[in-house]
Amino acid sequence: MHGGSPPSPEADPSPAELIAARPHLSRHAFDGLVVEDVPLATIASALGTPTHVYSEAAIRRRYAALSAALQATRLDTQIRYAVKANDHLAILRLLGSLGAGADVVSEGELARALEAGIPAERIVFSGVGKSRHELVRALAYRIDQINVESAGELAELSRIASELGHTARVALRVNPDVDARTHAKITTGRGQDKFGIPASDIPGLYAHAATLPGIRPVGLALHIGSQVMTLAPFRESFAVLANLAEGIRAAGLPLDRLDCGGGLGVAYVNEPAPSPEGLAGALAASFRRLGLALLLEPGRWLVAHAGLLLTTVLRVKQGPERPFIVLDAGMNDLLRPALYDAWHGIVPVRPGLDEPLAPADVMGPICESADAFARRRPLPPLRSGDLVAILDTGAYGRVMASAYNARPLAAEVIVSGARWATIRSRQPLEALWADERLPGWEAASRPEAAHCRSPQIFPPGGAEAGLFSRGAGAELARPPGLAPGRGARK
């Protein structure tokens, strides 16, 4: 199971143990579960649920710990935050202000990083499938480095850079054929994975890159996978990288940096996890003698613990063996359990955890059996209306969300001390179809259907809109264009 998992549910950490291991969380006698100094019940009563909540202090603390561990090595190291983990502008701005650059994998992530004020000279573009358009953008913004993953991409980049009269600073991404011993769906450094260039092809391709117009090879890159829970795979892949770098330099080619990727795992289950000091030690042992600049692309390690998904128990339904706790958050809000069998802590928000724990299945409301957050999870008794926090959702949480089952995207909140701010409002129902259009022939043959071309079927503030967004069960006047029988028309 991904993210580490206890050998049996009996070994699951209790809600109290989960809270104790997360410094930004505490439980108060009257307020219940509190993030920094803000009770989660306050946020829920103001904004409703499901809502993603982030702790600014938790992100600052993790960034400071990673920087301190890297600085202690006295190596030239730079953090390029992997934007995919959580791309909210407020998070990017915070990390940028702390000194982080960005590792981006799409034009959208590049635009977000720039919009958040992260300078182009601190941005790396990774990814196995960059479009021509994305390469043009990366060059136009003169970002720091493009990580190239194939001979074909290198040739295309050379052509584009020459056309534009730019020079691309390129690192070749090595596939070191190392198994990161993590979930198969997020392992990226084995020979059979689609990522990177086989180590045996690197020396020749690097030499070739040095001859290409518009290309300046500056180093090598790798990323072996995510949620890597031991240091051994890092050490193994760093050894491959160090060997290749030495060979390239011995051949008289310029090489001044190594991009060591992300992947540092976090303790979702309070299990032992590799420390930033451990990673820094592995970097120093592998690369000190080379005297190169080292880039790191951490995502999860910086932001996972900082986030939680605040949700409400809709229903407690007795199953054959234990209760189903049905939440108002689903796999559309947090996909990791459904996609990777990931384990996330689940903690009731209400005060007091003294009641005995009993196993329960914690489910979302979506029409798929995959929509399950936990099975046989020891929890105190829960009732309909209780608030619950799903922990450690700051990385790969909201970014992987969808509106499946026409469920609007959840709100997002950031907490800093006793302050909190809504950093994304809950998606309004109308936004679900705001970009949709009926095909022209439908509108032409049935003029009233042209209403659907308007982004707002329900006028703002109209009676229907109010009823819809409050989710009331009242009978509604049907809006034009949604008349019965529409689907049956030929």
Residue range at the interface with ligand LLP (CB under 6 A); choices 87-95, 256-264, 284-292, 352-360? 256-264
Nearer to ligand LLP, 282 or 457 (CB): 282
Pick from 4, 15, 217, 299 the residue near ligand LLP by CB under 6 A. 299
d(C-alpha 442, C-alpha 444), whole Å: 6
Nearer to ligand LLP, 109 or 412 (CB): 109
Strand spans (E) along 130-207: 145-148, 168-175, 197-198
Q: How far is CA 442 from CA 32, 82, 435, 453, 478, in A?
A: 54, 44, 17, 11, 19
Question: Secondary structure of 415-479 in the HEC alphabet?
Answer: EECCEEEEEECCCCHHHHCCCCCCCHHHHHHCHHHHHHHCCCCCCCCCHHHHHHHHCCCCCCCCC
User: Measured at the alpha carbon of residue 297, what is the angle toward residues 295 and 303, in degrees to the nearest 5?
Assistant: 140
Residue whose structure tokens are 């993590």? 182
Residue 223 as a binder of ligand LLP (CB under 6 A): the answer is yes
Nearest distance from C-beta of residue 186 to ligand LLP, angstroms = 5
Range 54-83, binding ligand LLP (CB under 6 A): 82
Nearest distance from C-beta of residue 240 to ligand LLP, angstroms = 16
Longest dimension (CA), the chain: 77
DSSP lists the bridge partners of residue 377 as: 360
Residue 350 as a binder of ligand LLP (CB under 6 A): the answer is no
Catalytic, out of 152, 192, 318, 367: 367
Residue 394 as a binder of ligand LLP (CB under 6 A): the answer is no
Alpha helices in 260-392 (DSSP H): 276-287, 300-303, 336-340
Residue 186 as a binder of ligand LLP (CB under 6 A): the answer is yes
Residue 274 as a binder of ligand LLP (CB under 6 A): the answer is no
Is 367 in the active site?
yes
Tokens of 289: 């003698």
DSSP for 68-100, written as a single string: HHHHHTTS-EEEEEEGGG---HHHHHHHHHTT-
Residue range at the interface with ligand LLP (CB under 6 A); choices 12-20, 91-99, 151-159, 220-228? 220-228
Pick from 214, 217, 219, 262 the residue near ligand LLP by CB under 6 A. 262
Nearest distance from C-beta of residue 121 to ligand LLP, angstroms = 19
Nearer to ligand LLP, 110 or 264 (CB): 264
Residue 297 as a binder of ligand LLP (CB under 6 A): the answer is yes
Under the rule (CB under 6 A), what is the footprint of ligand LLP?
82, 84-85, 103, 126, 186, 223, 226-227, 261-264, 297-301, 336, 340, 395-396
Catalytic residues: 367
